[in-house]
Amino acid sequence: MKKELKPETMISHFAEEREKYEGAVVPPIFQNTLFTFKDWDAIDAAFDDRINTSIYSRGRNPGVNIVEKKLAKLAGGEKARLFASGMAAITAAVMHFLDAGDHAIAIKNIYGPANNLISVYLKKKMGIETTFVSGNDLDEYKNAIRPNTKLFYLESPSTAIFNIQDIESICKLARSKEIKTIIDNTWASPIFQKPLKMGVDLEIHSCSKYIGGHSDVVAGLVIGNAKDIDSISVNEFELLGGKTAPLDAWLLMRSLRTLPIRMKAHQENAIKVAQFLESHPKIETVNYPGLKSFPQHELAKKQMTGFSGLMAFKLKTSNLSQIKTFFNSLKIFKIGVSWGGHESLVYAPAISYLKELSPEQFNGLGISLGDMRISVGLEDAGDLIDDLEQALETISD
């Protein structure tokens, strides 16, 4: 048997038919709406195999397809589809498994817009009922199952509070009840976690995070078996129309070539930063699955082969003016939403929550003013630590 190529090798070359493009080392961008055919029979035959033939770029585009093939291979899935955004991918996947009146079980603290989509929007439009579970107690799922339960929606690690779900056990339960599973695998990336191999039906990513990695593309991804992905292709993909632009797919191909080494570098930097924060007297707690002190570290290690760069920590002070001074004093960590790019970022979740919630509701959520979320980028770890240190020094004892 031939040895499987390592991701670093595979991702550089797989699915690139360079002889078709005069040997060009980078495939061209197919910036065209339609494809032309030599005669009646040729276009007639194309429609008989429309999933695998390029006819119109809302359906299939050869440049986009190269990237889809690489990502399917990397995740250990049969097929993949790129979407215009992570949310377009989530919408397609959820609607693929749910019909009007179905029931879904989702973990609390999934990505906010995904929560809104399932529990508010699809409830209104399709009568979908959702039960939220804390995430890691199998009995909670068992107790929540109804005769019309069709979907478990997971996000592990969850990106708001870093909850880890036992993917294999949850999928086993789902299969025994003929319930489908979707996981948002954006935090781990397809490098550090392979949910399809643990029994998940559809794996989702926001490619706007690590897969893109350069903070210059918004895109999404669904990976699964050929039957599900082909059905999504002719239904949710073509009908809802949330396709990726050829240029964006081409930028993702550029990004993929460095994804394995970028993830290693994010991991190396993140662990150094997390350890620094954990040992600092002005920090109350650090929430990072890669730390030994992380409550679910053993489960995290069991199902992931590495840890990415998004983490949270809590400042000891609850004085808003000191918290703001710390936040504003960071120089290398840029202030902004999103994460997973080359650049380090900081955000304080309180900024969003305080707009929507009363102080009492806010306190009830278990979030505090001093909670910080950072995305550790690819800069030098020592420089990042120095930046955090000088900002922490602005907090008086």
53, with CB counted inside 10 A (0-12, 13-18, 19+), is middle
What is the smallest separation between the CB atom of 110 and ligand PLP, expressed in angstroms?
A: 8
Q: What is the CB-side half-sphere exposure of residue 58 using CA atoms within 13 A?
A: 9
Nearer to ligand PLP, 111 or 192 (CB): 111
58 is known as an active-site residue? yes
- Name the residues that contact ligand PLP, by CB under 6 A: 85-87, 111, 155, 159, 184, 186, 206, 208-209, 218, 220
111 is known as an active-site residue? yes
Nearer to ligand PLP, 209 or 282 (CB): 209
What is the smallest separation between the CB atom of 72 and ligand PLP, expressed in angstroms?
A: 19
Looking at 60, 81, 111, 228, which residue is catalytic? 111
CB 340 within 8 A of CB 213: yes
202, with CB counted inside 10 A (0-12, 13-18, 19+), is buried
b/e map 176-185, b = 16+ CB within 10 Å: eeebbbbbbb
Q: How crowded is residue 362: how many other Cβ atoms within 10 Å of its Cβ?
A: 16
> Cα dist. 210→145, 187, 317, 352, 377 in Å?
34, 8, 32, 23, 10
What is the smallest separation between the CB atom of 161 and ligand PLP, expressed in angstroms?
A: 12
What is the smallest separation between the CB atom of 210 and ligand PLP, expressed in angstroms?
A: 10
Nearer to ligand PLP, 182 or 392 (CB): 182
The residue of the chain with the least Cβ separation from ligand PLP equals 86
Looking at 58, 108, 254, 272, which residue is catalytic? 58
Nearer to ligand PLP, 66 or 87 (CB): 87
What is the smallest separation between the CB atom of 62 and ligand PLP, expressed in angstroms?
A: 23
184 is known as an active-site residue? yes
Distance from chain centroid for Cα 316: 30
Closest C-alpha among 159, 142, 264 to residue 209: 159
CA distance 155 to 163: 8
Looking at 79, 180, 209, 373, which residue is catalytic? 209
Looking at 102, 166, 184, 228, which residue is catalytic? 184
Longest dimension (CA), the chain: 80
CA distance 53 to 56: 9
6, with CB counted inside 10 A (0-12, 13-18, 19+), is exposed
- State residue 180 phi and psi, 5-degree precision: -85, 155
What is the smallest separation between the CB atom of 304 and ligand PLP, expressed in angstroms?
A: 15
Strand duo 371-375 + 345-347: pairing? antiparallel
Give the dihedral of Cα atoms 116, 119, 125, 129; nearest 10 deg.
Answer: 170
What is the smallest separation between the CB atom of 347 and ligand PLP, expressed in angstroms?
A: 12
* Catalytic residue numbers, as ranges: 58, 111, 184, 209
